[in-house]
C-alpha cells in the first residue's frame, strides 16, 4: 500500500477545512488549497477555532492542537497539491467543477499519488474517467461536521484498484473514523436515504400538511431525530440538497426523486440555509424563526 504522509485538500470551505482538521490531528502533513487565498486563511482560522473548542471540552490536548496547526500549510497554487501522497477534492457539489479540478491537477501529480473525491452524490467512475489514474481514484465521503461525525463512506469506481481501496480504508480508520462501503450509484448510502427524506419534508410543507415548526417537531419527537428535516436541510445547505436530488432524479430516472418546487424556489431566491442567513428558518436574529 502507498505510505501516506502528506495529504492535499482541495477546497477550504466547511468540508475541506473539516477534513484538513482531522487529517492534521491524526499526524499527517496537510496542504490546503482553494481558488481564493482568503478562503484558505479563513479555513485555517476556522480549524484553529474548532480545535480550541475541542481543547476546552477536554477532547484533545493543547499540545496536540499546536502540533496539528503547524502541520497545515497553505497551498494557493494547485500544482503544489500534486506533490502529496493523497489528494482529496472537497469542492462544491458540481460535477463539472470537480472534473475541471482533476483535469488541472493531472499534469502536476506524482506517479504514485492517490486521488479521492469527497462528493456526496456524484459518480466516482465518471470523475475518475477524466484522470490518468482511474485505478488510483476513490470516493471518501466525510460527513458534516467532519471533526464530530464518525463515518466515512468509501466508494469504489468501476476501475478502482484493490490496493487503492485498502489504502483508503486504512487511511480513514487512522483518522478515528468508521468506514462504510457503498457501491457507485447516485448519492451512495447516506444521502440516498437522507436527502429524499428532507425533500419529502419540503413537499409536506409545500402541500400545507404542516408548518415548518410542526414538521420539525414531529420528526424530532415522533421519530427521535436530533434535528428536524427542514432544520437539517438548512444545516447541509439547500443548494446541496437540490444538487443531490437532481443527481438522484437524473441518475435513476424515477419520479419519486423529483426535487420539490419549493426547494428549487428557495435556492433560486438565494435562501440556502444557515450559510446565507435564511432558509426554512431565518438565522439573522438571536433565535432562528421559521420563514413559512
Catalytic residue selected from 17, 50, 120, 199: 120
Q: Which of 141, 199, 231, 243 is catalytic?
A: 141
List, in order, residues 6 or more apart from 69 with CB less than 8 Å away: 24, 44, 47, 48, 51
Q: Is 84 a catalytic residue?
A: no
| CA 16 centroid distance within chain | 7
Of the candidates 257, 145, 154, 133, the one whose C-alpha atom is nearest the C-alpha of residue 198 is: 257
DSSP 278: B
Q: Is 77 a catalytic residue?
A: no
Q: Of 89, 93, 153, 231, which one is the catalytic site residue?
A: 153
Tell the residue number behind the cell numbers 435564511, with chain if given: 278
Tell me how far apart the alpha carbons of residues 95 and 53 are, in angstroms, rounded to a whole number: 34
Q: Exactly one of 191, 199, 243, 249 is catalytic; which is it?
A: 191
- Closest to 119 (Cα-Cα) out of 155, 168, 150: 155
Task: For residue 79, give the C-alpha cell.
Answer: 500544482
Q: Which of 11, 161, 7, 151 is nearest to 92 (CA)?
A: 11
Q: At a CB cut-off of 8 Å and minimum separation 6, what does 4 contact?
A: 28, 85, 86, 114, 167, 171
120 catalytically annotated: yes
**Does the active-site annotation cover 153?**
yes
Active-site residues, by number, are: 120, 141, 153, 191
Amino acid at each position: 500500500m502507498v505510505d501516506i504522509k502528506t495529504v492535499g485538500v482541495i477546497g477550504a470551505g466547511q468540508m475541506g477545512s473539516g477534513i484538513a482538521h482531522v487529517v492534521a490531528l491524526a499526524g499527517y502533513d496537510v496542504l490546503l488549497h482553494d481558488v481564493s487565498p482568503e478562503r484558505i486563511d479563513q479555513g485555517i482560522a476556522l480549524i484553529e477555532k474548532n480545535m480550541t473548542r475541542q481543547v476546552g471540552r477536554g477532547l484533545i490536548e493543547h499540545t496536540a492542537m499546536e502540533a496539528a496547526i503547524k502541520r497545515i500549510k497553505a497551498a494557493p497554487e494547485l500544482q503544489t497539491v500534486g506533490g502529496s501522497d493523497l489528494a482529496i477534492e472537497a469542492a462544491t457539489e458540481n460535477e463539472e467543477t470537480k472534473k475541471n479540478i482533476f483535469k488541472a491537477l493531472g499534469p502536476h501529480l506524482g506517479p504514485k499519488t492517490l486521488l479521492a473525491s469527497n462528493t456526496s452524490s456524484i459518480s466516482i467512475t465518471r470523475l475518475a474517467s477524466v484522470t490518468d489514474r482511474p485505478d488510483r481514484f476513490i470516493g471518501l465521503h466525510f460527513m458534516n461536521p467532519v471533526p464530530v461525525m464518525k463515518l466515512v463512506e468509501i466508494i469504489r469506481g468501476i476501475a478502482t484498484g484493490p490496493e487503492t481501496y485498502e489504502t483508503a480504508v486504512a487511511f480513514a480508520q487512522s483518522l478515528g473514523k468508521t468506514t462504510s462501503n457503498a457501491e457507485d450509484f447516485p448519492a451512495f448510502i447516506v444521502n440516498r436515504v437522507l436527502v429524499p427524506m428532507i425533500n419529502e419534508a419540503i413537499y409536506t410543507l409545500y402541500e400545507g400538511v404542516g408548518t415548518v415548526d410542526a414538521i420539525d417537531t414531529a420528526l424530532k419527537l415522533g421519530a427521535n431525530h436530533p434535528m428536524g428535516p427542514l432544520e437539517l436541510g438548512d444545516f447541509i445547505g439547500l443548494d446541496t440538497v437540490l444538487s443531490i436530488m437532481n443527481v438522484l432524479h437524473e441518475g435513476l430516472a424515477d419520479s419519486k426523486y423529483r426535487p420539490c418546487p419549493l426547494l428549487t424556489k428557495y435556492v433560486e431566491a438565494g435562501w440556502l440555509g444557515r450559510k446565507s442567513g435564511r432558509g426554512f428558518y431565518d438565522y439573522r436574529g438571536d433565535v432562528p424563526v421559521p420563514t413559512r
